[in-house]
Amino acid sequence: MNRIIGEFRIGEDIAVALDATEGDTAEVTAISAMMKPALATANRLVLDDAAIPIALSVAAQSPASAGWILNLDSAQSGLLAPGVFGIDARIEIGSVIEMTDQSAFISVSKATVS
């Protein structure tokens, strides 16, 4: 995916759904998610490999079989600079590690009134 899936303001909660499209979510033994600033290169968005990743919290959707919610709380998002960020998740099923197929990109902007 190389398009922006959501727009958020600096200082508000950032929440993105990671839907389970196949398999049984009950088999997942661990899940983590990170985001990094993105760069525009050759008309594509790519992650800034030099940037330090920002950890997101992960919670089950309701029902849990639907997937997870990846979240960055308002205090943490208040520290972000405006821009585009890419999000990826790592899912462990026993000893098998799965990565999201594509990065999800979001836009973060500063409010006009702050």
51 class by beta-carbon count within 10 Å (0-12 exposed, 13-18 middle, 19+ buried): middle
pLDDT digits (tens, 9 = 90+) for 53-78: 999 999 999 998 999 999 999 999 99
Q: Is residue 80 a part of any domain in this protein?
A: yes
- The residues pairing with 18 across neighbouring beta strands, listed in sequence order, are 68
Full domain range(s) for residue 78: 4-109
Residue of 10, 17, 107 whose CA lies nearest to 58: 17
pLDDT digits (tens, 9 = 90+) for 71-111: 999 999 999 999 999 999 999 998 888 888 889 999 999 98
Structurally, the chain folds into a number of domains equal to 1
Please give the Cα distance from 29 to 73 (Å, whole number): 24
Return the CATH number at 17.
Answer: 2.60.40.10
